[in-house]
Copies of this chain bind each other. A is one copy, B any other.
């Protein structure tokens, strides 16, 4: 079958790879109908990770089941399904606690697995025609048959639950004011989730105009940090007060207004703008090994955090990749009921063959390539 295969920094190709097959009784094989490119794929694409050439990318996968292992009981050939980017077993201590992003079974020696991602276990990615899904009863979420809401449902694999996770870590509740750092796809999903949960006011902070326009369209207040201190802008709008809650949807490749990378700047901005007793949800990625970091400590993931300020304000902070399984069912039901339309972030649909160009343009932050959904069935 055809698949998007990593070659070297800044180069992926669509090549033939072996078809996946049922390897264990709880597996299914899914024919991919939609598979999105994620900002975190760029970390590998840019060579800022240890990803090996030959890796098949793709962790935002949905499609139709074409083969079912004999241990699977709830799924049938023909079922339309979307898979969390996390691979999880469903029965370990962490999965039982709903922490499916930190499964102790699927990636021995590490807490958490994923499809098509460096260090996340032996699971091939889904930017391909077919995908093997282990522990399928647990990892497949069934969708209504047909092709309605295809791009909405595709967002359930990662970015909609990931944005939502940011608001859950920050325990966003009705009537609160919330700042979301970053208005890329995940940041937009976090802002959208905060509004769906009843936040009174949501600030979206970025410096890319077309992102800020999208944020405004969904009801957030856009804050352009290249036009002045974002803390001051927010406090002024917020009746002179800090905000109740904050979400970091940027991570370690954070930049200041001048464009320079400062890996702790987003966290410290949140420590400043969130009011005493507030909470911060961190879904932007922080890593323990960043060869491209600006200094030796940052290369090991050690960042200068305003700990004195955090303690003085009694802030709480939750971190880590989303436990997609904890949210995807309810978010699916919001889509079915017409109460959520996360596909507003999708900028383009492309056939698998155009993946190399899509990666290059996304990496260059070209408008129109901010969220590409690959369609292996498109020609």
Contacts and interface: CB of A to CB of B under 8 A. Distances in A.
A308 to B, nearest CB: 2
Interface string A61-90: 000000001110110000000000000011
Contact of A314 (B99, B176, B275): B99
Contacts of A26: 25-26, 71
A285 B308 CA distance: 8
Contacts of A70: 25, 71
A111 interface: yes
Contacts of A337: 200-201
A183 to B, nearest CB: 19
Given A98-B98, A174-B197, A200-B339, A302 B304 contact: yes
A47 interface: no
Contacts of A98: 96, 98
A379 interface: no
B94 A276 contact: yes
Interface in A153-180: 164, 169, 173-177
B304 A314 contact: no
B287 A312 contact: yes
A144 to B, nearest CB: 9
A67 to B, nearest CB: 15
Given A99-B277, A105-B74, A303 B305 contact: yes
Contacts of A304: 297, 302-305
Task: Categorize the interface residue count of chain A.
Answer: 35 or more
A377 to B, nearest CB: 28
A317 B316 contact: yes
B308 A319 contact: no
A20 interface: no
Nearest to A221: B337
Contact of A200 (B267, B282, B286, B333): B333
A342 B337 CA distance: 23
B25 A71 contact: yes
A330 B191 CA distance: 18
A168 to B, nearest CB: 10
A175 B333 contact: yes
A314 B302 CA distance: 16
A313 B91 CA distance: 19
A121 interface: no
B297 A301 contact: no
Contacts of A275: 111
Contact of A174 (B102, B112, B287, B330): B330
A300 interface: yes
Contacts of A71: 24-26, 69-71
28 contacts: A24-B73, A25-B26, A25-B70, A26-B26, A73-B105, A93-B329, A94-B277, A96-B325, A174-B197, A174-B330, A174-B334, A175-B331, A175-B333, A175-B334, A200-B334, A201-B333, A267-B307, A277-B320, A287-B311, A287-B312, A301-B306, A301-B311, A301-B312, A302-B304, A305-B307, A310-B319, A313-B320, A315-B320
Given A25-B71, A300-B306, 11 more contacts: A74-B89, A90-B90, A96-B325, A99-B276, A173-B330, A198-B198, A201-B333, A264-B307, A288-B309, A315-B319, A316-B319
Closest 4 CB pairs of A and B: A301-B308, A314-B320, A175-B330, A71-B71
